[in-house]
Amino acid sequence: MSSSPDSQASASPLSLAPPRGISRHVTTGAYRFTAWGAPRWLFLVRLLMVAVLALVFSPLSPSPLAEGVEPRLAWVVLSAYGALVLLSGLSLYARWPARQNQVYLAVFVDIVAFALLMHAAGGVESGLGVLLAVAVAAGALMMEGRLSLLFAALATLAVITQQIFAHLHGAAPASGYTHAGLLGVLFFTVALLARLLYRRLHTVEALAARRQVDIDDLSKLNDYIIQNLGTGILVVDGERRLRMMNQAARDLLGIPTPPPGAELRRLSPAVADWLDTHVQPWAPQGGMIQVGERELKPSRHLLGTTRANGVLLFLRDNQELIREAQQIKLASLGTLTASIAHNIRNPLSSIAHAGQLLGESETLGQDDRHLVEIIRRNSGRIDEIVRSVLQLSRRNQVEPRLLDLVPWLLDLCSEFRQFHGLGTENLQLRARQSEILVEVDARHLHQIVFNLCENALIHGGTPAHIQVRVAAGAGADKAMLEVRDEGPGIAEDTAREMFDPFFTTRAGGTGLGLYIARELAETNGIRLQYERLQPRGTCFRLTFG
């Protein structure tokens, strides 16, 4: 899941980077913490040691080191050491020289300064040799285990040199060489242990960094998945303030991106009211929420047993749920109905042909001719249903191409008038632009508009006054096409069911015209809507793109 540094510049939502404060070593793939963080801590520790040593060597201090052999030398060394520590702070601020060189200088200065202070305090028996061990350990850790033995050797050499100098001047007994040797052993032991400790810390650090990167990757992946889910998701706390909302929820509720901690009631009073009545653990989940023209089906998951734990809300468009259930139901019957339609067509054509031959008989009576007419009419109706079912089964075979709507609609309107024997006053085309381009399957769009015009012709009253309007929207790919009539309109109960298959209010209708029109529209990415006009009339609107 981890990505290379080059890929971090990608604009992809899944472009994952190392966690903050960690940089990736390109050649080894290992992680290390920020290079300049540790030297700053070392500077603060050294500054603290200067203050403590100043108190220790102060004449007012009750420490036995205050009565050192050479207190003047101790204060000269402390003054110089303090100045060098402050100068190292300025170097850290300027980041010059390089970090590695600054560590070298700091450890070397500490070894020299602590050796001189140890001499001023009476030699190796003063106990200040431990400060040299601290400098060796700090150098080994700061240099990531490198040169740790060199630092130990320098510290040992400093202690032995101090002991030789003190012994030659009669300021230290010969037994001090034993203490100096033991300090040298201590320095090398500290250096080796510090090196092993760094390796162990480095391994744990790299593992923790990799785990952090994996967690960050999973967090970004989860956020990407949640934001692209079709189900609206909201997370609210115990104070009913919004903590998270995905894009689907914003689309369903029709609100822009809310600020963090926004009150749920201000964003959507309907959702807040529903939550107040369904927040108890024993409350049954149900009901609908009306948000504008949308009917939402909510559900909730409590994040704890108390109000303070918050609630996870799910929102689904009820029309989408109904459509999905209908698609599942129809999909299970799709193959069967197509097979039945193919098998019905052959005997049906035989029945229609036999009825036609029987109707041509000269000895047929009037009553028999009426029966033959019933056979012919109903055979034609069954053939129309079979043809519609076969067209519906082929709706996924989309062949989109760029289409100029205005001249294409002129040809379609002319064809419709000739087919139904209408005049230009019965079917009119109104276009706001001379060129409106859309990408669509022309065969499917022909069937959609033809079905809508036939529906307007049948239910739009007599004489028919049908208008086909077309206009471009926000862009060339946002065109809008309307089929209007001046009929009495569609009742509300009928409007809710008119897109259902086999629903019809006409005795001889199949109930598949509007259903096929909607299915073909959705297949081509077109939105088909119905609108009741005032004071009378019906409008079916196709929105492209």
Q: Mean pLDDT across the stretch 238-265?
A: 86
E strands, 409-535, in order: 427-431, 437-440, 466-471, 480-485, 527-532
pLDDT tens digits for 81-96? Answer: 999 999 999 998 898 8
For tokens 């960690």, what's the residue? 22
Looking at per-residue pLDDT, the higher value among 430 and 475 belongs to 430
Please report the pLDDT score of residue 111 as a whole number. Answer: 93
The pLDDT, as a whole number, for residue 17 is 41
Q: Looking at residue 289, what is its pLDDT?
A: 85
| pLDDT at residue 160, rounded to an integer | 92
- List, as one string, the DSSP characters of 268-305: -HHHHHHHHHH-STTSPP---EEETTEEEEEEEEESSS
Per-residue pLDDT at 67: 52
pTM: 0.41
Distance CA 163, CA 179 (A): 9
User: Are 453 and 344 part of one and the same domain?
Assistant: no
The reported pLDDT for the residue numbered 19 is 40
In a domain, 3, yes or no: no
**Residue 481: per-residue pLDDT:** 92
225 in a domain, yes or no? no
Whether residues 307 and 325 share a domain: the answer is: no
Residues 312 and 345 both lie in one domain: no
Domain membership flag for residue 2: no
Annotate 201-235 with b (16+ C-beta within 10 A) or e (fewer). Answer: eeeebbeebbebbeebbeebeeeeebbeeeebbbb
Q: Is residue 381 in some structural domain?
A: yes
SS (H, E, C) 332-391: HHHHHHHHHHHHHHHHHHHHHHHHHHHHCCCCCCHHHHHHHHHHHHHHHHHHHHHHHHHH
The CATH number covering residue 305 comes to: 3.30.450.20
Q: Could you read off the pLDDT of 39-76 as tens digits, one per residue? A: 888 899 999 999 998 888 877 766 555 555 577 888 89
Evaluate whether residue 224 is within a structural domain. no
Q: Are residues 65 and 203 in the same domain?
A: yes
**How many separate domains does the chain show?**
4
215, pLDDT greater than 60: yes
Q: Please tell me whether residues 142 and 255 are part of one structural domain.
A: no
* Structural domain contains residue 340: yes
The pLDDT of residue 30: 39
Considering the domain architecture, whether residues 180 and 60 belong to the same structural domain is answered as yes
For the stretch 275-279, contacts whose Cβ atoms lie closer than 8 Å and that sit 24 or more positions apart, written own/partner, are 275/236, 275/240, 275/300, 275/311, 275/313, 279/307, 279/311
Per DSSP, the residues of 170-214 read TSS-TTHHHHHHHHHHHHHHHHHHHHHHHHHHHHHHHHHHHHHHH
In this structure, the answer to whether residues 305 and 328 fall within a common structural domain is: no
| Residue 509 pLDDT level (bands cut at 50, 70, 90) | low
pLDDT digits (tens, 9 = 90+) for 376-407: 877 877 777 777 666 666 555 678 889 999 99
Residue 341 sits in the same domain as residue 430: no
pLDDT band of residue 28 (cuts 50, 70, 90) is very low
Q: What is the pLDDT of residue 390?
A: 67
pLDDT surpassing 90 at residue 109? yes
Which of these three, 170, 185, 218, is where a domain ends? 218
* Amino acid in the structure at residue 74: A
Percent of the chain's residues with pLDDT above 70:
83
Condensed to tens digits (0 to 9), the pLDDT of residues 307-334 reads: 667 888 898 888 777 777 766 766 665 6
pLDDT at 329: 65
pLDDT at residue 343, rounded to an integer = 74
Q: Are strands 242-245 and 289-291 parallel, antiparallel or unpaired?
A: unpaired
Give the confidence band of 29 by pLDDT, cuts at 50, 70, 90.
very low
Of 361, 393, 425, the residue that ends a domain is 393
Q: What HEC string does 396-422 produce? A: CCCCCEEEEHHHHHHHHHHHHHHHHCC
The three-class DSSP label of residue 469 is strand
Residue from 266, 350, 278 nearest 314 by CA: 278
Residues 250, 302, single domain; the answer is yes
Q: What contacts 365, CB < 8 A, 6 or more positions away?
A: none
Average pLDDT over residues 231-235: 89
The residue type of 268 is S
Region 267-290 average pLDDT: 81
Residue with the larger pLDDT of the pair 159 and 493: 159
Query: Among residues 180, 62, 59, which one has the least CA distance to residue 123?
Result: 180
Longest dimension (CA), the chain: 154
* CATH number of the domain residue 516 falls in: 3.30.565.10
451-461 pLDDT per residue, tens: 899 888 888 87
Q: Which domain holds residue 304?
A: 232-319
Is residue 223 in a domain?
Answer: no
pLDDT above 50 (res 8): no
Measured on CA atoms in the order 55, 61, 64, 65, is the torsion positive or negative?
Answer: positive
The region of weakest confidence among 18-22, 259-263, 319-323, 356-360 is: 18-22
- Are 493 and 472 found together in one domain? yes
24 - beta bridge partners?
A: 31
CB atoms under 10 Å from CB of 282, counted, come to 4
The residue among 336, 366, 393 that closes a domain is 393
Within-domain flag for 277: yes
Please, what is the average pLDDT of the chain? Answer: 80
State the Cα–Cα distance between residues 386 and 337, nearest whole angstrom. 9
Residue 197 pLDDT grade (very low, low, confident, very high; cuts 50, 70, 90): confident
- How many Cα atoms occupy the beta-carbon half-sphere of 87 within 13 Å? 11
From the number of C-beta atoms within 10 Å of its C-beta (0-12, 13-18, 19+), residue 448 rates as buried
Burial class (CB in 10 A: 0-12, 13-18, 19+), 483: buried
Looking at the fold, whether 20 and 161 belong to one and the same domain comes out as yes
What CATH number is given to the structural domain containing 351?
Answer: 1.10.287
Pairwise CA distance, residues 23 & 30, whole Å:
9
Query: Residues 463-467: what's their mean pLDDT?
Result: 86
pLDDT classification of 188: cutoffs 50, 70, 90: very high
pLDDT of residue 22: 39
Round to the nearest angstrom and report the end-to-end CA distance of the chain: 36
Q: What is the mean pLDDT of residues 494-514?
A: 72
Which pLDDT does position 187 carry in this prediction?
Answer: 92
Q: By C-alpha distance, which of 287, 289, 285 is closest to 302?
A: 285
Determine the pLDDT at residue 31.
39
- Considering the domain architecture, whether residues 375 and 454 belong to the same structural domain is answered as no
pLDDT of residue 206: 87
pLDDT at 391 (0 to 100): 64
